[in-house]
Structure 1
Amino acid sequence: MTALERRYRRLLLAYPADYRRDRGDEIVGTYLDLADGGRRWPSPSDAADLVRGGLRQRLRSAGATDLIPGVRLAGLLALATATFLAGFWMIVEQQSPPTEWGLRPSFGPFVSAGVVAWFGWLIAALLVAVTPGRPSRSAIALAVLATAAVPVLSVIAGSLRPPLLVLVPQVALGVLALAVADHLPLPIRALPITAAVAGGMVAWADENVAYWGADRGGVEQLLTAAGAVLLAVAVLLTVGLAIKRDGRGTWALAALLTPIGLLSVHILAGMVDGLGGAPRPTYPTLVTTALVVAMLGPTVLPAAVALRRRVPTHSTDPHSTDPRPTRPCPTCGAHR
């Protein structure tokens, strides 16, 4: 066995054991036939293709073929929410705080270094509308990296930055937005840029919202409202799709648990501290709650897949009189 074949077979571990046993030699042989002479390592595209194929096959064998479409739906909702917030904060960056706060623009004409991230999100929203696929996904990835880098950039530039309460949920929304589908109708592709414009209009209507000040309640209220709207839309989609026996909404809701929770993390942390009214949780409680919420989506999705695999699925044929449970075919995902 050559080194290249051995490495292809390691990648084949992404597939279920029975699938590897039945078709593993065929798959590895195909990749070896197509590989360039003298190659010792699988190409990045081959590796990604094998891992994606293995994931799809595992989902099919678990009867969870609608998980990936559901996560893509969640990515679209997350992207629209992220661009709405970016449009809002972009306007906030151009509004000078009240003079009694003692703050002045510290990043050129803008209030903080956060403008770099918000500008990146607006570019990503535009690219999703006009050039879907790899360019738009790369732009989303750059916007996520720019948002995560804002604290470091603010230190280097000696400028102010948006609070972590704003930056952390934006990163979570962006990571999920990377899953957005490439081939979408133009009206749907235009949703992120439309949301960004709407966010900017809301910010112009409320000139008192800012990152800093004695009372940051406006920021918290905006984040909570965004989380509530995102949750309501996800629930409505879940119910509507479930009526049609479509499980995408359920998976989308599960994937959105982390960004929804991070948008309202100050309220959740306040509940943990047992405070009433406008919550003001302690910093350790806030950090702990954020860490727990951050693990919701990554924990719930694999657990749901494992549960789907363990629980026998009954036939969905309304005319069937056979009460015996059926299991999904490990190859095609169909129930038998």
Structure 2
Amino acid sequence: MTPSRLEVAYRRLLRCYPPRWRRDHGDEVVATLLDLADAAGRTRPSPADIADLVAHGLAARLGASLGLVPVVVRQRIAILALASLAALSSDLFVVAEVLPDPWPAYAGDLAGGGLTFGPFLTVGAAIYPLPVAAFVAALLGARRAARSLLGLTCLAVCAAVLVAALTDIERPPLYLLLVLFLLAGMALAGTPTKLHRRGLLTAAALFVLFLAVAEGYSCLLVRPDGYAYYANPSTAYRGPEGPVDTIQAILPATVILGITVATVISVRRPGWTVAAFVVGTAWPLMPIIKATRYYTWGWEADYAGGGFLLILGPTALAAVLDLSRAASPHTLKTPHQPAEDQDTATTK
């Protein structure tokens, strides 16, 4: 019997896995994927399936299968990654993409002098709604929709880089796109399991508070007569004392505080230190890459790079210890722990 085009596509994706794994599990996985696709009326692999197969296949080839990470840890990483991704995307869409109409003459030129993306400044406007929609889908319990939207986010980031390279249309800074891609990948790795609403809402509220503080601090740094400067969307991405610049400025203290609080919480709920460490090392890539590229000899490089290197060792050790506790078969839920985590009591 001649295999269908969908089956051929799935078997090509399974080439990401080692040959031995494909011999042992390939037929079973393909049959399951075909049944799910038939039930959904799909004739081609979904973005979520593609991202999932590629990520797990490469991890299996490297001997670091995601299955080795306890479910509870994957969930908590996904909660922090998805909440922070949605909060950051919402903030950037509002403060960095919406162009004034008409564009005021005193607000300066557009960043780079390139073409705008319709009524928006860059192609980032096509990316930011996707993780916000994924967050809403996760809140509603639509895991497949959330995974598909996160997969589309990764593809949209790659497409934005390609579009900007081939045309004059602007894109957000590359270091910002990298962080968006990493956060979407972390969230995608944890969404096969249920993400609790309370955890998502709490994490989102904390990240919204962080961004609100950054926005308020940015407004204070701008002179009282500098509203036109602050209201210029290009300032948000590239301007000194703009929103993105201010976010990067307060990141070191925020990451240290976040990991410290997570370490305290992990005494009774293992996994949060690992989650805070993994997500907390993705966000600082923004100031580190920016400082390395633009301010090699400035104080920004010492502050961003040196500061994070100073705390990397102790926080990494705390994360490793927390991971070992979360992976322990003796780490079970006790009566004083909330019911929301009952289904994640067993970590393997």
Could you tell me the TM-score, scaled by structure 1's length? Answer: 0.58
Q: Where in structure 1 are there 5+ consecutive unaligned residues?
A: 1-6, 14-27, 32-39, 60-64, 317-331
Is 1:147 the counterpart of 2:133? The answer is no
C-alpha separation between the residues in 2 aligned to 1:269 and 1:78?
25
- Aligned-CA RMSD value: 5.1
1: CA distance between counterparts of 2:177 and 2:66? 36
The aligned residue for residue 79 of structure 2 is 76
Does the 8 Å CA contact 1:88/1:203 hold for their aligned counterparts? no
SS in structure 1 at match of 2:134: helix
Shift of 1:201: 11
Tell me, yes or no, if the aligned pair for 1:73 and 1:248 is still in contact at 8 Å.
yes
Among residues 247, 270, 285, which one is paired with 2:270 in the alignment? 247
- 1:1-336 equivalences in 2 (<5 Å): 10-11=20-21, 41-44=27-30, 59=68, 67-91=70-94, 92-96=96-100, 99-100=105-106, 101-103=108-110, 106-156=116-166, 158-181=168-191, 182-190=193-201, 207-208=230-231, 210-212=233-235, 215-218=239-242, 219-225=244-250, 228-242=253-267, 244=268, 246-266=269-289, 269=292, 273-276=296-299, 278-279=300-301, 304=320
- Looking at structure 2, the residues matched to 132 and 228 of structure 1 have their Cα atoms a distance apart, in angstroms, of 35
Is contact 2:89–2:128 with CA below 8 Å preserved after alignment?
Answer: yes
- 1:177 and 1:226, CA in 2 relative to 1: closer, same or farther beyond 3 A? farther
The structure with more radius of gyration: 1
Paired residue for 2:343? none
Indicate if the aligned counterparts of 2:87 and 2:208 stay in contact, CA closer than 8 A: yes
**What is the identity, as a one-letter code, of the residue corresponding to 1:134?**
R
1:110, CA displacement in angstroms?
0.8
C-alpha distance in 2 between matches for 1:87 and 1:80? 11
Return closer, same or farther for 1:259/1:10 CA change in 2, 3 Å cut-off. same
Give 1:93's aligned amino acid. Answer: E
Residue 261 of structure 1 and its aligned partner are, at CA, apart by: 2.9
Aligned residues: percent identity? 19
| Equivalent residues of 1:169, 1:262 under 8 A apart | yes
- Displacement of 1:175 in angstroms is 1.2
The alpha carbon displacement at 1:222 in A equals 1.6
Number of residue pairs aligned between Structure 1 and Structure 2: 262
How far apart, in 1, do the equivalents of 2:284 and 2:182 lie? 10
SS of 1:137's partner is helix
Task: Tell me by how many angstroms 1:139 deviates.
Answer: 0.8
Partners of 2:213 and 2:347 in 1: CA distance: 46
- For residues 45 and 232 of structure 1, the distance between their equivalents in structure 2, rounded to whole angstroms, comes to 47
Q: With the length of structure 2 as denominator, give the TM-score of the two structures.
A: 0.56
Structure showing the higher helix proportion among its residues: 2
CA contact (8 A) 1:120 1:143 kept: yes
Distance 1:114 1:174 in 2: 15
| Separation in 1, partners of 2:283, 2:296 | 20
Q: How far apart in 2 are the matches of 1:125 and 1:273?
A: 37
**Gap change, CA 1:125 and 1:203, over 3 Å in 2:** farther
Q: Distance in 2 between matches of 1:260 and 1:46?
A: 36
Distance 1:57 1:155, change over 3 A: closer
Contact 2:131 2:184 (C-alpha < 8 Å) held by counterparts: no
Could you tell me whether the CA contact under 8 Å between 1:75 and 1:176 is conserved in 2?
Answer: yes
Give CA-to-partner distance per residue, 1:301-326, whole Å, 9 cap, x none: 9x959x96xxxx9x99xxxxxxxxxx
Quickly say closer, same or farther: Cα 1:203–1:90, change in 2 above 3 A. Answer: farther
* Cα deviation, residue 157, structure 1: 5.3
